[in-house]
Amino acid sequence: MMDNGKVLDVDNLTVTYMTEKGPLDVVRSVSLQIAPGEIYGLVGESGSGKTTLARAVVRYLPSNGKITGGTVSLSGTDLSTRSQKEIRGIWGSRMTMVHQDPNAAINPSMMIGEQIAEMTRTHMGLSRKESRERALEMLNKVRMPDPESVARRYAHQLSGGMLQRVLIATAMATNPEFIIMDEPTTALDVTTEAVILDLIHELMDEYNTAILFITHNLGVIARICDRIGVLYAGEIMEEGPIHDVFKARLHPYTRGLLGCVPRVDANKKEISLSAIPGYIPRPDELPEGCIFGPRCELVEAACREARPPVVSVGPDHLSACRRHEILRDRSEKADETREETIGDELGHIVLEARNIKKYFPFSGGLGSIWQRRRSELKAVDDISVRMRSSFTMGIVGESGCGKTTLARCIAGLEEATAGEIELEGQLLDYSVNKRPRAILQKIQMVFQNPDASLNPQHPAGDSVARPLILLRNMDRKQVREKVAELFKAVSLPADYIDRLPHELSGGEKQRVAIARAFAADPALMICDEPISSLDVSVQASLMNLLAELQDKSKTSYLFISHDLAAVRHISDWIAVVYLGRLWEIGSAEDVFIPPYHPYTEALLSAIPIPDPDIRQDRIRLKGSVPSSLNIPPGCRFHTRCPRKVGEICETTEPPWQDMADGHRICCHIPLEELKELQGDGLLKTAGLRGNN
Amino acid sequence: MAASEQKIQKKKITVSPLKKFFRRLRRYPTTFIGISIVIIFLLIAAFGPLIAPYHYSQQDLLQRLQPPSDEHIFGTDQFGRDIFSRILVGSRDVLLIAGSGTALAVFSGLLLGLFSGYIGGLFDEIVMRIMDVILSIPPLLLAMVILFALGPSRLNVVIVVGFLYIPMVARVVRSVVLELKTRQFVEAARLRGETRLYVLYKEILPNVLPHLAVEASMRFSYSIFLVASLGFLGLGVQPPSPDWGLMVGEARTWFYQAQWVLFFPAGAIATLVVGVGFMSDGLRRMLLPGGVTDDG
Ligand code: SF4
Ligand code: SF4
């Protein structure tokens, strides 16, 4: 094989799994090249084959997987024909990997420094002393605070963000030519993710490593990658330099994916997301011709007959669509606009939660036996919210900020420690077990994990029928009719009523869960991260569904998510939570324009926006969220606040400052000053993303 | 645009469950072997006395300790009884006693585990500590003590086996319940005001059953072993009943002259235990799949 100056050269690669039903080609004829110093972003939804592709590249396939066509070469060395033993020699010294889950990749019983050192000893032949120095150097490189002490710690003593840095340090320690990063930031909070992405970006400027960056998040790719490949059902649909692909979008799938991502500058009343109909086909049920055909709006007879050729549509820019010219003319599909159905008059107050507190007693290991004073974990510490009918309140914050606990307290699944929960003027009991039926009927919940939210042994229809029988006293016939109606409302075909959950996809399960919640005809629906475990295209269709159902039913949503763009899309009002307290609350539009709370500012500037041209302020938070056992005095955010004004933040709790329209911020910095500091804010280049 | 992620319906693959079962069996030969062994022994237990060439207690002192031959394919024992016939007939006792003991343990363990896990609190604490106490005594020792007190009989062996294995079953069930209790479908049930009994019976129990089946089959293999051991020690079924454990126990004396007297009953025990073990392993793989995921 010729050395063409590329570090990684995947040529016409096909990967096959031997299964019960015979061989399945999971990745088909994929070609891609990565140059030194280039970050290549490979984006795909679940089932796209991106993990298989990555594993095939490093020859780490499960025992039933095999490369059945094409070649993979690393700087001219053909990897696809090497024996496992030879690969092991290359692995570690010339190519390495950063995993999604650090806990799976780091040995819990070995000190961090020693792990990195060991890597350099085996693969670079360094001496003990040299390797130890190298480890410290690498920890320094990844901007680890206090590297000397971190080197002597174990995995469980570090936070997720720090572990991810350790993984990067380990991967780079041997100066490899090529690194695979498999969803390295997916498990992290946005603020930490932003920091890690910055780090990768900076390191790449310094080194000449080629990186294959695998993710499902287009925003992440837009932020750090040079090139992008869009993988769909095992084939590359579009590939090219990041700007060209994001701007021209010369494949309907790319266009569809980008249309699914909620925008930070518009909400559900202005636009509805353009979800892609249908599903990714399974490798054993591939359609004839273009594999995207069944879901494509532009499909024509020729598409169904033969697989479209991969054509060059620009310098270095490839598309596997035969109608890409049409796409080029429609420079950007206009977002569908929705008419506003809600008038100006305010609905009645549905929920009024005042000064909710939830403390968990905490016993910290053996020491607590001697300790007299029981410590308390203050998950929610004095939060008040008020919601009107047909209204969506979004609650955002990093993991561990107390947003889910707050929701569970309102639902009664967790008993609040103090505070008042009033529903339509009626004071509620803390515990769901003590609330009367009439109240239960009014509050329902949609949970995060679709796999756990339906009973695996009950047919989907039964799950939806129970609330009807129990809370709405319907007889059998009525129940049957209503279940059918609800399935229709969540756009599930009627024959799904008898299916068991394992026969449904994640998105479908979540639809059943939504139907179940709506079966009670609730006044308030609590959505606890209902979309975060799903693929973007499914997320979009679910958000559209929720918006549609709200129009009809006038139900209020309490929508909890760590995804600011999603919250911005679906909410009328947004509350920002950090360490069990509210810091900013206001209408969705107001919260996204300055002045905003320094914490909100940091969250906003961390959102990965799928637009390589957008210029976000680089506000990064240091460290991680302090433990709720040990809440900092004064302003709880002062340990990480980039705008901290001084002493006063550490000693005095900041006051609430009111603005027009109920927008409130809790900070010592006067509003005018905040506004000045923050300038035009996040959306300064939003004009570039305007419609049409 | 109306959301319609399911416009294209997935083709529903219709394979009859039985066919699917056999297809899976083929992938796990040990499971197949295990199930076959168990079925063969069940048939033997059902029809053993009909096929047995001799009566199990028919003595023939002239034919003492004969090695395997055409007349006596497994040979004869110290009283000249046909070992083959004795093993055939003896399978009844083993399967019946071990089976009833297991059933007793599974049923009581299920109830204790369910309530203990679901109610929690003090009740759970008390039940589980009692279980711990039972578990902390070596099972054979405990069985011996109880049987000394109650006196050896078939029923008493059943009771002892059942009693000994309650804690294991209860623990497994409890841990499954504890995990299921935090699942969101249980929380959804609470949110619509289901009674606790409904939640336990309709939401939790069906999800415990697969685990219970696996545990039961495993307990069954242990029970067979325990019943045989008790027979060996002379605490189980009494002579002249053809109990396998008892046969092994009696054969010790003659081992140097006639190995087959010991070998065949011991082999029968081992085969059955291994067979049930394979079967329970297979059940686990079929009923509690996990780990075998393939991301595309
Ligand atoms: S080739 Fe046809 S079906 Fe495939 S993406 Fe292009 S227009 Fe759609
Ligand atoms: S009060 Fe001080 S520390 Fe807190 S957010 Fe405002 S500036 Fe930052």
Specify the pLDDT at position A516.
94
In angstroms, the CA A184 to CA A164 distance is 7
Tell me how close the Cα of B139 comes to any Cα of chain A, in angstroms.
33
For A615-635, how does the pLDDT look when each residue is reduced to its tens digit (9 = 90+)? 777 788 877 778 778 888 889
CA of A550 to the centre of ligand 2 (A): 36
Residue B80 within any structural domain of the chain: yes
Q: Are residues A503 and A373 in the same domain?
A: yes
A321 in contact with ligand 1, CB cutoff 6 A: yes
In angstroms, the CA B151 to CA A396 distance is 69
Percent of chain B residues topping a pLDDT of 90: 36
For A152-188, how does the pLDDT look when each residue is reduced to its tens digit (9 = 90+)? 888 888 888 888 889 999 988 888 889 999 888 887 8
Residue A91 backbone dihedrals phi, psi, to 5 degrees = -60, 130
Residue A511 within any structural domain of the chain: yes
In angstroms, the CA A561 to CA B22 distance is 45
Closest partner residue to B206 (CB to CB) among A411, A445, A457 is: A457
| Confidence bin at A78 (pLDDT 50/70/90) | confident
Pocket of ligand 2 (CB under 6 A): A 598, 635, 637-638, 641, 643-645, 649, 654, 667-669
Closest partner residue to A493 (CB to CB) among B6, B191, B207 is: B6
Please check whether residue B186 is in contact with residue A466, taking contact to mean a CB–CB distance below 8 angstroms.
no
Contacts of A537 in chain B (CB under 8 A): 5
The stretches of A42-83 forming alpha helices (DSSP H) are 50-57
Nearest CA to ligand 1 atom 5: A321
A401's enclosing H/E stretch is: none
Residue A123 within any structural domain of the chain: yes
| Mean local confidence (pLDDT), A293-320 | 87
Q: Are residues A546 and A612 in the same domain?
A: no
B6 to A457: CB separation less than 8 angstroms, yes or no:
no
- Asked if B6 reaches chain A (Cβ–Cβ under 8 Å), the answer is yes
The complex's ipTM works out to 0.79
CA of A226 to the centre of ligand 1 (A): 26
Sign of CA dihedral A143, A145, A149, A155: negative
The residue ranking higher by pLDDT, A588 or B255, is A588
A445 to B191: CB separation less than 8 angstroms, yes or no:
yes
DSSP character at residue B130: H
Residue A39 within any structural domain of the chain: no
Residue B261 within any structural domain of the chain: yes
Question: Is the predicted pLDDT of residue A342 greater than 70, yes or no?
Answer: no
Residue B47 within any structural domain of the chain: yes
Contacts of B189 in chain A (CB under 8 A): 466
| Mean local confidence (pLDDT), A666-675 | 89
For B38-94, how does the pLDDT look when each residue is reduced to its tens digit (9 = 90+)? 999 999 888 877 887 888 877 777 777 778 887 888 888 877 788 888 888 888 888
Query: Which residues of chain B from 197 to 256 reach within 8 Å of chain A, CB to CB?
Result: 202-203, 206-207
Q: Which domain holds residue B237?
A: 28-53+74-287
Tell me how close the Cα of B190 comes to any Cα of chain A, in angstroms.
7
Specify the pLDDT at position A366.
52
Domain count, chain A: 4
Locate the chain B residue with the closest alpha carbon to A336: B1
Question: Is the predicted pLDDT of residue B107 greater than 90, yes or no?
Answer: yes
Domain boundary among A175, A201, A227: A175
For A188-230, how does the pLDDT look when each residue is reduced to its tens digit (9 = 90+)? 888 888 888 988 888 888 888 899 999 988 989 998 899 999 9
Q: Are residues A595 and A551 in the same domain?
A: no
Nearest CA to ligand 1 atom 1: A321
B190 to A48: CB separation less than 8 angstroms, yes or no:
no
Tell me how close the Cα of B38 comes to any Cα of chain A, in angstroms.
27
| Mean local confidence (pLDDT), A246-261 | 88
Find out whether the peptide bond into A522 is cis, omega within 30 degrees of 0.
no
Domain count, chain B: 1
Residue B220 within any structural domain of the chain: yes
Residue to mutate, A296, A311, A327, A330, ligand 1, most ligand atoms under 8 Å from C-beta: A296
Closest partner residue to B193 (CB to CB) among A282, A440, A448 is: A440
| Confidence bin at B294 (pLDDT 50/70/90) | very low
A487's enclosing H/E stretch is: helix A476-489
Tell me how close the Cα of B290 comes to any Cα of chain A, in angstroms.
13
Specify the pLDDT at position A374.
61
Specify the pLDDT at position B178.
93
Residue B189 within any structural domain of the chain: yes
| Mean local confidence (pLDDT), A643-648 | 88
Residue A358 is part of a domain; what is its CATH number?
Answer: 3.40.50.300
| Confidence bin at A345 (pLDDT 50/70/90) | low
Percent of chain B residues topping a pLDDT of 70: 92
Locate the chain B residue with the closest alpha carbon to A287: B8
Residue B227 within any structural domain of the chain: yes
Among all ligands shown, which has an atom nearest to the Cα of A653? 2
Please list the residues that pair with A77 across neighbouring strands.
A74
Q: Are residues A475 and A441 in the same domain?
A: yes
| Confidence bin at A332 (pLDDT 50/70/90) | low
Q: Among the atoms of ligand 1, which is closest to the Cα of residue A303?
A: 2
- Asked if B5 reaches chain A (Cβ–Cβ under 8 Å), the answer is yes
Percent of chain A residues topping a pLDDT of 90: 25
Q: What are the angstrom distances between the C-alpha of B164 and each of A496, B118, B134, B158?
A: 46, 23, 7, 10
Specify the pLDDT at position B211.
92
Q: Are residues A480 and A604 in the same domain?
A: no
Tell me how close the Cα of B10 comes to any Cα of chain A, in angstroms.
9
Q: Which domain holds residue A144?
A: 105-175
| Confidence bin at B1 (pLDDT 50/70/90) | very low
Residue to mutate, A232, A323, A325, ligand 1, most ligand atoms under 8 Å from C-beta: A323
Q: Are residues A627 and A507 in the same domain?
A: no
In angstroms, the CA B56 to CA B88 distance is 9
Q: Among the atoms of ligand 1, which is closest to the Cα of residue A322?
A: 1
Specify the pLDDT at position B188.
92
| Confidence bin at A331 (pLDDT 50/70/90) | low
- Pairs of CB atoms within 8 A across A/B: 126
| Mean local confidence (pLDDT), A415-434 | 90
Q: Among the atoms of ligand 1, which is closest to the Cα of residue A251?
A: 5
Residue A567 within any structural domain of the chain: yes
| Mean pLDDT for all residues in chain A | 85
Q: Are residues A452 and A315 in the same domain?
A: no
Q: Are residues A537 and A439 in the same domain?
A: yes
Specify the pLDDT at position B159.
92
Residue to mutate, A668, A673, A674, ligand 2, most ligand atoms under 8 Å from C-beta: A668
- Quick one: three-class SS letters along A520-565? CCCCEEEEECCCCCCCHHHHHHHHHHHHHHHHHHCCEEEEEECCHH
Specify the pLDDT at position B8.
38
Please check whether residue A45 is in contact with residue A233, taking contact to mean a CB–CB distance below 8 angstroms.
no
| Mean local confidence (pLDDT), A519-541 | 88
Q: Are residues A479 and A525 in the same domain?
A: yes
Specify the pLDDT at position A459.
92
Residue B17 within any structural domain of the chain: no
| Confidence bin at B291 (pLDDT 50/70/90) | very low
Residue B192 within any structural domain of the chain: yes
Q: Are residues A569 and A611 in the same domain?
A: no
Percent of chain A residues topping a pLDDT of 70: 93
B296 to A52: CB separation less than 8 angstroms, yes or no:
yes
Q: Are residues A501 and A472 in the same domain?
A: yes
Q: What are the angstrom distances between the C-alpha of B133 and each of A519, A624, A670, B102?
A: 48, 45, 66, 20
Structure-token match 């989907």, residue found? A460
Specify the pLDDT at position B6.
40
Question: Is the predicted pLDDT of residue B7 greater than 60, yes or no?
Answer: no
A493 to B8: CB separation less than 8 angstroms, yes or no:
no
The residue ranking higher by pLDDT, B133 or B71, is B133
Residue B152 is part of a domain; what is its CATH number?
Answer: 1.10.3720.10
Sign of CA dihedral A364, A367, A369, A372: negative
Domain boundary among A175, A197, A220: A175
For A547-606, how does the pLDDT look when each residue is reduced to its tens digit (9 = 90+)? 989 988 889 999 999 888 889 889 999 999 999 899 999 988 888 888 889 999 888 888
A317's enclosing H/E stretch is: strand A317-319
Structure tokens at A361: 């007693």
Question: Is the predicted pLDDT of residue A524 greater than 90, yes or no?
Answer: yes
Specify the pLDDT at position A239.
93
A544 to B3: CB separation less than 8 angstroms, yes or no:
yes
In angstroms, the CA B35 to CA A343 distance is 69
Q: Are residues A495 and A642 in the same domain?
A: no
Domain boundary among A543, A574, A605: A574
